[in-house]
Amino acid sequence: MAFSRPKLATGVRLHRDKVRDQDVLLFPEGALVLNETALEVLGLVDGERTLDDIATVLSERYEGADVKDDVSELLDGIGERGLVVEADG
Amino acid sequence: MAEWPAGAPHPLLLIAELTYRCPLHCPYCSNPTDIGAAKYSNELPAEDWKRVFRESADLGVLQLALTGGEPMARKEIVDLTQTATDAGLYSTLVTSALPFPKRRVEALHAAGLDHVQISFQHSDPTLADEIGGTIAFDRKVKAAALARELDFPLTVNCVLHRRNIDAVDSIIDMAVELGARRLELANTQYHGWATVNRDALMPTRAQLEAGEEAVKAARERLGASLEILWVLPDYYEELPKPCMGGWAQDAVLVQPNGDVLPCQAAASIPGIAIDNVRDKSLREIWLESDMFNAFRGTEWMQEPCRSCPLGRQHEDHGGCRCQALALTGDAAATDPVCQFSPHHDTIVAARREADEPEPAEPAPFVYRDLIPS
């Protein structure tokens, strides 16, 4: 399933881990280390932007590349763990 | 600050045992059995806790468990939570929900508390209160509703044993009704008070298998809406668990009096000095103390760990040091849960005993209490 308007689930937040020089997603009793792409996508997930909005912003950053499928797939993966949910749902 | 020593681990988790005072009397409590000792009543002042929180963040801690005892028994809990938030820590309140007053919980929310975990002893109110040794069930249900109302992510924790494991299905239903996002079904690990009550707590193999089946079915039914953690009791395994992610690798625990340990039971190991945050920084204790270095890495290992036929030294770290001590008298021995341990027969014997027919009078619980020792 693809998100239409994704948001971070309650109790999930981004965190800059200065000690290990990495970005992580923190959630109840866990942490997920984010690569650059995941960080960029999740940085745009705010419950306001739609999946299309997010893909458009990133596409502009990367010279018009079609990124929608990649963004959708990434969010689905994180969504399977209950960390991203549908804002409209 | 001085450079971080090459190869030294950074802790991820700070377990802050703010007090051993608790309204519940659970017979499997992981707190030490001498919680009534005078040394624990000298509770660390809030200012020291705040410093410890900040120091832990500088060491790399990401997750903070505000626990106890009952952490809400500390009147400074809101202030402490605010400090944790300011330090960037992800905070979990591990609570019995007695007390859980609305105004205070709202203040915790405003202070940035990230997550609430409420313990339940059973899904049946009467049995739950009997296990916890106090009238608590209805108040816990109300507390869970309040946590959800304030939009906290809610974890329900239920420690499993032979007197409640048959109710796993109904405990799962209860967690769904309470609006929990996570359910921790933690089979009792035999430390602290659980060691005293092992015969009364240890489930039969048939009970465990039925519980596991119920969890599997529920996971399929519920999907991502409820994350169900099922922690196997290692008495029913053939290879040990990496206790706490390995000695002094991921976790650091501070007791109510400021003593610092790698795990809940480490103080049971005799002959190792215990450092206190009133005297030293958390960094110094983490990196340099005898306690943290006693079983860090693999150098301390004896046979059969040293030449482990499965090469699991870095995977399970030799299992649990405290369990090795309790069952073999030697904290540096291989955890007897391991099939290669020369003491594995003690585990097998405990299983066999648990499988024997239930006596007419089930073994009574020894309830957790703050009786001065």
pLDDT reading at A88 higher than 90: no
- Cβ count within 10 A of residue B247: 25
Give the span between the Cα atoms of B144 and B156, in whole angstroms: 9
Nearest Cα residue in chain B from A31: B62
- pLDDT, residue B261, reads 98
Q: Band the pLDDT of B309: cuts 50, 70, 90.
A: very high
pLDDT reading at B373 higher than 80: no
- pLDDT, residue B334, reads 96
Give the span between the Cα atoms of B178 and B165, in whole angstroms: 19
- For chain A, the first-to-last Cα distance in angstroms comes to 13
Q: What is the mean pLDDT of chain A?
A: 94
Arithmetic mean of pLDDT, B69-83: 98
Give the span between the Cα atoms of A45 and A7, in whole angstroms: 5
Contact B77, B18 (CB under 8 A): yes
- pLDDT, residue B372, reads 58
Query: Chain A interface residues facing chain B, Cβ-Cβ under 8 Å?
Result: 9-13, 15, 17, 19-20, 24, 26-31, 79-82
Q: Which residue in the set B59, B115, B151 is minimally distant from A28, CB to CB? A: B115
pLDDT in tens, B80-127: 999 999 999 999 999 999 999 999 999 999 999 999 999 999 999 999
Give the span between the Cα atoms of B176 and B172, in whole angstroms: 6
Q: What is the mean pLDDT of chain B?
A: 94
Q: Band the pLDDT of B44: cuts 50, 70, 90.
A: very high
Contact B254, B59 (CB under 8 A): no
Residues 6+ apart with CB under 8 A from B113: B81, B85, B91, B93, B152
User: What string of DSSP letters covers B122-144?
Assistant: -SSHHHHHHHHTSS-HHHHHHHH
- pLDDT, residue B86, reads 98
Contact B156, B120 (CB under 8 A): yes
- pLDDT, residue A31, reads 95
Nearest Cα residue in chain A from B113: A11
Beta carbons of B90 and A13 less than 8 Å apart: yes
Contact B35, B84 (CB under 8 A): no
Beta carbons of B115 and A15 less than 8 Å apart: no
**% chain A with pLDDT above 90:** 85
- B11 in contact with chain A, both atoms CB, cutoff 8 A: no
Contacts with A, B 98-127, CB within 8 Å: 114-115, 117
pLDDT reading at B306 higher than 60: yes
- pLDDT, residue A1, reads 66
- Cβ count within 10 A of residue B145: 13
Is B56 in a helix, a strand, or coil? helix
Contact B261, B331 (CB under 8 A): no
Question: Which residues from A are below 8 Å from B63, CB to CB?
Answer: 26, 29-31
Highest mean pLDDT among A65-79, B49-63, B320-334: B49-63
Give the span between the Cα atoms of B356 and B263, in whole angstroms: 32
Give the span between the Cα atoms of B152 and B164, in whole angstroms: 27
Question: Which residues from A are below 8 Å from B64, CB to CB?
Answer: none
pLDDT in tens, B275-298: 999 999 999 999 999 999 999 999
Is A53 in a helix, a strand, or coil? helix
Give the span between the Cα atoms of B228 and A82, in whole angstroms: 12
Question: Which residues from B are below 8 Å from A15, CB to CB?
Answer: 62, 88, 90
Arithmetic mean of pLDDT, A26-50: 96
Beta carbons of A28 and B182 less than 8 Å apart: yes
Task: Tell me the residue type at B155.
Answer: T
Q: Which residue in the set B90, B182, B227 is minimally distant from A26, CB to CB? A: B90
Contact B223, B240 (CB under 8 A): no
Q: Give me the torsion for CA of B140, B144, B150, B155, rounded to 10°.
A: 120
Beta carbons of B152 and A28 less than 8 Å apart: no
**Residue B255 φ/ψ, nearest 5 degrees:** -80, 165
* Prediction pTM value: 0.95
Give the span between the Cα atoms of B253 and B126, in whole angstroms: 33
ipTM for the assembly: 0.94
Beta carbons of A26 and B63 less than 8 Å apart: yes
* Å between B316 CA and nearest CA of chain A: 20
CA-angle at B5, arms to B333 and B52, nearest 5°: 80
* Å between A25 CA and nearest CA of chain B: 10
- pLDDT, residue A3, reads 92
Give the span between the Cα atoms of A25 and A11, in whole angstroms: 10
Beta carbons of A28 and B181 less than 8 Å apart: yes
pLDDT in tens, A2-16: 899 999 999 999 999
Beta carbons of B88 and A15 less than 8 Å apart: yes
pLDDT in tens, B121-176: 999 999 999 999 999 999 999 999 999 999 999 999 999 999 999 999 999 999 99
Is B27 in a helix, a strand, or coil? coil
Beta carbons of A19 and B152 less than 8 Å apart: no
- B157 in contact with chain A, both atoms CB, cutoff 8 A: no
Task: Tell me the residue type at A29.
Answer: E
